[in-house]
Amino acid sequence: MVSPYELTLDEWRERLAHYPRFRADQVWRGLWQEGRELHELSSVPRALRDELAGEYSSQLVVESRVESDHGSTVKWAFRLPDGASIETVLMVYDDRVTVCVSSQAGCAMGCTFCATGQAGFTRHLSEGEVLEQVMFAARTAAPRRLSNVVFMGMGEPLANYAVTSRVLRRLHDDRGLSARHLTVSTVGVAPAIERLAREGLPVTLAVSLHAANDETRSQLVPLNRRYPLSRLREACETWVEVTGRRLSFEWALIDGVNDTDRAVDELSAFAWDLRAHVNLIPLNPTPGYLVRGSSRERVREFRDQLRERGINVSVRDTRGRSIAAACGQLAYVTEGRRGVSLRTRAGTS
């Protein structure tokens, strides 16, 4: 079985070539604009729906659902047909509705402070599996319109490059999302950043920097040994030159590791010429990393010190922390004790 979201409008036209042309348009519109599932396409004749049901079906089975922030944050664990699990988070704000999608089941990058990295890599997701996460969240958010997609769930989107770039294009073409509202977060796969810059998609790029000296960064982000800061910097410069867009640096503040005065100097030196925006993320707790996040007070001070140096900086909220849905907390075992007790606390299932 294939996900119905794998097919583009042209592919639906080809698949349904022996029907009047408007049928393909109806199916495509129902799936993408109305966010319906195939069996809900009541304008399509029953016989055709049954025929399609034999070939296409949703790839995501809800394994668990947890809510927090009075229902405005929802995290799902989905099981895929081969048994792999992924997580997706929906965040409803006053001015936007954002879904955080996974691009891989697990992650091979092994960042020490990240629950997904601690759990290891299972496999890449397919185009349909990523798109279905978006459409699932869009259906849940209705009647609010899903406006933003961030690739900040499980996995390294630029390690699954072909799928990520096609998904970005299709969210723009099929779902009509503004490319500016699509954010790719990467740990710093330098050649892939350069390639993405040349795709002609004005998406937003977030680079997970976390340290601006090679020694510390290599400890936190093993990929830094392959693409050290000088190489990453080149890629960031190419991004800015080619796209004309700013990028942002993500920085998870870890007590005594990357929240020192020296770190302020190194980060401002790295971000300044690039005119990059800095997003500070208070470190979220994960089971396999015992170092603490910086205190709230230090987070504020660190922000102020960067501001004094003229850096454009903000502090990311820790939405979803109580349900282990915040940045870096997505692991593929949600049925463990932690998941169950938190779900009970949130009072939903």
Residue partners of 294: CB distance under 8 A and separation at least 6: 253, 254, 255, 259, 282, 283, 302
Measured from the CB atom, the residue of 138 and 203 that comes closer to ligand SF4 is: 203
The β-bridge partners of 87 are 77
The β-bridge partners of 205 are 184
Stretch of 82-90, 193-201, 255-263, 278-286 lying at the interface with ligand SAH (CB under 6 A): 278-286
288: DSSP letter: T
The side-by-side arrangement of strands in the sheet containing 97-100 is 61-68, 73-79, 85-92, 97-100, 148-151, 182-186, 204-208, 248-253, 277-282, 312-315
Q: How far is the CB of 210 from ligand SAH (least distance, A)?
A: 6
Phi and psi dihedrals of 339, rounded to 5?
-60, -45
Measured from the CB atom, the residue of 112 and 348 that comes closer to ligand SAH is: 112
Measured from the CB atom, the residue of 114 and 257 that comes closer to ligand SF4 is: 114
The closest residue (CB) to ligand SF4 is 117
129 is catalytic: no
The structure tokens 């799902």 sit at 76
Measure CA 140 to chain center: 18
**52's tokens:** 């399609």
Q: How far is the CB of 302 from ligand SF4 (least distance, A)?
A: 20
Stretch of 42-50, 164-172, 238-246, 279-287 lying at the interface with ligand SAH (CB under 6 A): 279-287
Stretch of 13-21, 43-51, 105-113, 211-219 lying at the interface with ligand SF4 (CB under 6 A): 105-113
**Is residue 125 a contact residue for ligand SAH (CB under 6 A)?**
no
327 is catalytic: yes
Please name which of 236, 257, 233 lies closest in space to residue 245, comparing C-alpha atoms: 236
Q: Which of 26, 88, 116, 238 binds ligand SF4 (CB under 6 A)?
A: 116
Annotate 67-122 with DSSP letters as a single string.
EEGGGTEEEEEEE-TTS-EEEEEEEE-SS-EEEE--SEEE-SS--TT-HHHHH-EE
Q: How far is the CB of 309 from ligand SF4 (least distance, A)?
A: 26
Q: Which of 114, 131, 232, 313 binds ligand SAH (CB under 6 A)?
A: 114
Q: What binding mask, one character per residue, do residues 321-340 give for ligand SAH by CB under 6 A, x or -?
A: ------xx------------
Q: How far is the CB of 224 from ligand SF4 (least distance, A)?
A: 11
Interacting positions 231-250 with ligand SAH (CB under 6 A): 250
| Residues tagged active-site | 87, 327
Q: Which residues bind ligand SF4 (CB under 6 A)?
A: 107, 109-111, 114, 116-117, 155-156, 187, 208, 328
